[in-house]
Structure 1
Amino acid sequence: MTYPMNLRKHIFHTALIFCGFFVLLTNLQAESTNTFRVMTYNIHHGEGLDKQVDLQRIADLIKQEKADIVALQEVDRNTERTGKRDFPAEFTRLTGMSCVFSNNWPVQGGEYGTAILTRFPITKREHSLLKMVGSKEQRGLLQAHVKMGDREVVVMNTHVDHRKTDEERLESIMEFATVIKKKAELPVIFCGDFNDVPGSPTYEQMSALLDDSWKLIGEGEGWTIPAEKPRRRIDYIWISKKGPIIPLRAWVPASEASDHRPLVVEFQLPTGK
């Protein structure tokens, strides 16, 4: 059927307007939310259940789980036990992500601490050492400010005391409370190995500061250790209370790359206007 010229122009212009509106709506929807994944993982200085140090399989697991932010504990740099390898540099190369590292404790001629990997731009890095209470291992808190669209998010990573007494862990959480208060205007994602289980004084004190992502969205026990047959939950991803970050789902992938299993949580962060 042939339409008059004026009618054809009208149909064409109407189609252009409709297409433009559809593209605008799609862009607005894309800008209104940002879905991303966070992993926390104690990598046991890269040593798996087979006693082999293998960073490639850890990097493969990170890519397999499509993690956008990764908090690693027990990270070596230039230590004798891991052949003087620079773990942060290797993870940067293997994952293609940016990395910040904190040295908490000198070990075997090198450094030992925590690291944060991310595909988002890092705008600021902070590191502080935590108070020691009768222990021989220095612990710390690593922070990275990352830019996600038009939002800035603070990612924190720690690995607190492992002893049966909880005195040092509780002291560390008092220090965390001070830091979190200073960041009150920004969304916080706090990852780490807390060496204590739900219901413990350590857990209850952290719960007063932040929300446990697994408790909000996880299904099952969420056990992360020991890796072969997990029976305890000591690895956590905490988020700001009543904040803009929304947990969508959480899971614990099976892996023998460390003596822990990683915890992964997928989040949504509203962005744009």
Structure 2
Amino acid sequence: MKMTKQLLAILTLVLTFHTIPAQNTSDKEITVRVLTFNILHGATTKGDFDLDKIASVIQNTNPDLVAMQEVDFKTNRARNYDLVTELGSRTKMAPLFGIAMPYDGGGYGEGILTKMPILSSKNVPLPHSPENEPRAALQVLVQLESGDTISFIGTHLEHQERSMDRIDQVETINEVFTSCKYPSILAGDLNATPDSEPISILKKYWMASDQEGALTYPSDAPEIKIDYIFFRPAERWQVVETEVICDEIASDHCAFLSVLKLVK
């Protein structure tokens, strides 16, 4: 049976659609709004567990990606809420939880919110001393509207002031994530000041979005910087703006926002 010209044209169109991947040929600027926020396991500084208050801080910055620390998953202290899912619902973003340790009838760890579809994810346990809390780094690969894929990692490093765990943890982060072939962003509460050894180790491979080190803790009167957004490789990103958002009720940490431009 002979194939009509019309049918042949339709089949050609279908085959072309399925075999040629989408390419970013637009000249439109590609920017990503990134927020890191330690949410104090949902309690707020008043201890009143106001998730709407936390969600409003996130919504007001209009982020594309959020890394959250001190995230509870159905613990007794968090009233059996899955915090990242609750905040995802309130902010209309897709939620993902990565456990660092079992805690109080549920789990405790990292949370990510994203406006972009998640292509894949992995949760990487970080080294820690037996007497200290387990920590993790949660990674997602997401697809931007432009079709570009980027890597986004959220983490929370050891908080004990004299602990060597942070050095082991940043070395693991470098080992695991710097081989990623996609432009990458690392965000979180690193419990280390800009002049510390852990930050120096990270800076061997990562660029800080705010070179001057805006203060982020405590939220009622910030005195130190311990919350960061890093990116790599340096030539693939440009910093458009950064902002510290301090709400002394929502959390004991200020939220930290960076707007990054993806360079073609």
Instruction: Please state which band the TM-score falls in when normalised by the shorter chain.
Output: 0.7 to 0.9
Q: TM-score, normalised by structure 2?
A: 0.86
Cα offset for 1:166?
4.0
Match of 1:102 among 88, 98, 101: 98
Larger Rg: 1
Q: Distance in 2 between matches of 1:254 and 1:229?
A: 9
Over the aligned positions, Cα root-mean-square deviation in angstroms equals 1.5
Alignment of 1:119-268 (within 5 A): 119-148=115-144, 149-183=146-180, 185-215=181-211, 221-256=213-248, 257-268=250-261
Question: Which amino acid in structure 1 is aligned with residue 120 of structure 2?
Answer: K
Kindly tell me the number of residue pairs found equivalent between the two proteins: 238
Alignment of 1:105-120 (within 5 A): 105-120=101-116
Q: Distance in 2 between matches of 1:228 and 1:161?
A: 22
Question: Which amino acid in structure 2 is aligned with residue 178 of structure 1?
Answer: E
- 1:21 maps to none
Cα offset for 1:93?
1.0
- 1:29 maps to 27
Q: Which moved more, 1:151-160 or 1:242-251?
A: 242-251
Q: Which runs of 4+ in 1 moved over 4 A?
A: none
Cα offset for 1:134?
3.7
Deviations along 1:120-151, one digit per CA (max 9) or x if unpaired, are 11100101111112433110110000101221
Deviations along 1:93-129, one digit per CA (max 9) or x if unpaired, are 1011111110111111011110110101110010111
Q: In structure 2, list runs of 5 or more residues that go unmatched.
A: 1-24
Partners of 1:88 and 1:101 within 8 A in 2: yes
Cα offset for 1:82?
1.4
Percent of residue pairs bearing the same amino acid type:
29
Q: Distance in 1 between matches of 2:252 and 2:185?
A: 24
User: Does 2:82 align with 1:69?
Assistant: no
Partners of 1:105 and 1:111 within 8 A in 2: yes
Cα offset for 1:246?
1.3
Q: TM-score, normalised by structure 1?
A: 0.84
- Structure having the larger proportion of residues in helix: 1
Partners of 1:166 and 1:202 within 8 A in 2: no
1:81 is paired with a residue of what secondary structure?
A: coil
